[in-house]
Structure 1
């Protein structure tokens, strides 16, 4: 899998180069470049209702997290580079927030529910931060959540017969009522996130 997969994939998409999806998977409704345009220029609402299950198997919806700011991240547990890097920065953000960290709920939504079962998801999120909630669901439920957040993703076949998941990788900041505040691009440091998040928590 390419380094910094999200950034590279978006560059390729803007140049008209799309990876080949696994046979049988529906073509994404919109390209990575189109979804990036939506996010950059706030052309459409971002975020919305979801109905998934957390790493313990408990049914969770967006309403369960009202009253806290959310840091929402979409990825998958076998992502070799950008996902763990960004999740580590989210964890560092919570650590550096100190007591204010209780006002922020981090969420990790897997884009690969086929491989990311409950046990695997539980082990993965625990490796980053004890308050990181992992979410999964059937493919249709994951697709609806990803579409709401304007996330691009698709399975891509590997030569040895396995597959990976190409995806955009943004950290979404949501307010306590579920409203969209903005996104952090891949590779954003904890220090940068803190400069944006702290003023919102003080309001």
Structure 2
């Protein structure tokens, strides 16, 4: 009888030490007022809207092609993460559209965007538009940018916020991607939320 009690007590003690099942985490940006309708011009000169991406997960990154360091590094991490997912989880990768939206529409014409985005991923979409259109989409996505002072040669930098949003197929925000941590961190975060 003592042996039975000891075995029962041991089983209860072990079950008490076992972690309880963890409920799936809620998306960190769930309910945030980020995103909205837009109509812009893609790298092929075609007019596209947010509705063209309905039903797909989207990575929304805002930057500019003349950026000397941050934008190319971030976009490279996003493109490399997608290429990695295409090898390891092709079904997940196929559900995602990477989108680069310029914050410098004066210089970032469709042709300039085409050369830029094609260097990072063959499915990456580059979007530009009028200054007013870009200001509107920046507002929808809570993105800051401001043109810096011109250099003696007439060039300029653009100060801008640095975030890559993972958006759901219905256009709602899910999470920020850690592109500053490199491709593997981006791929891991995508796999966490894209099913």
| TM-score (norm. length: structure 1) | 0.75
Alignment partner, residue 72 of structure 2: 84
CA distance in 2, matches of 1:44, 1:181: 9
Alignment partner, residue 54 of structure 1: 42
Q: Is the 8 A contact 1:112 1:165 kept in 2?
A: yes
Alignment partner, residue 102 of structure 2: 110
Residue 121 of structure 1 and its aligned partner are, at CA, apart by 1.0
Q: Is the 8 A contact 2:29 2:173 kept in 1?
A: no
Deviations along 1:47-101, one digit per CA (max 9) or x if unpaired, are 1111101011111011100111111100111001000001000111111112121
4+ residue stretches of structure 1 with deviation over 3 A? 40-44
SS of 2:180's equivalent in the other structure is: coil
Structure 2: give runs of 5+ residues left out of the alignment.
1-27
CA distance in 1, matches of 2:115, 2:176: 26
Compared with structure 1, are the counterparts of its residues 129 and 41 closer, same or farther at alpha carbon in structure 2 (3 Å cutoff)?
closer
1:181 pairs, out of 159, 174, 177, with: 174
Two-structure CA RMSD over aligned residues (Å): 1.8
Q: How many residues align?
A: 163
CA distance in 2, matches of 1:44, 1:197: 18
Residue 144 of structure 1 and its aligned partner are, at CA, apart by 0.6
| TM-score (norm. length: structure 2) | 0.78
Structure 1: give runs of 5+ residues left out of the alignment.
1-39
Q: Is the 8 A contact 2:29 2:174 kept in 1?
A: no
Q: Is 1:162–2:155 an aligned residue pair?
A: yes
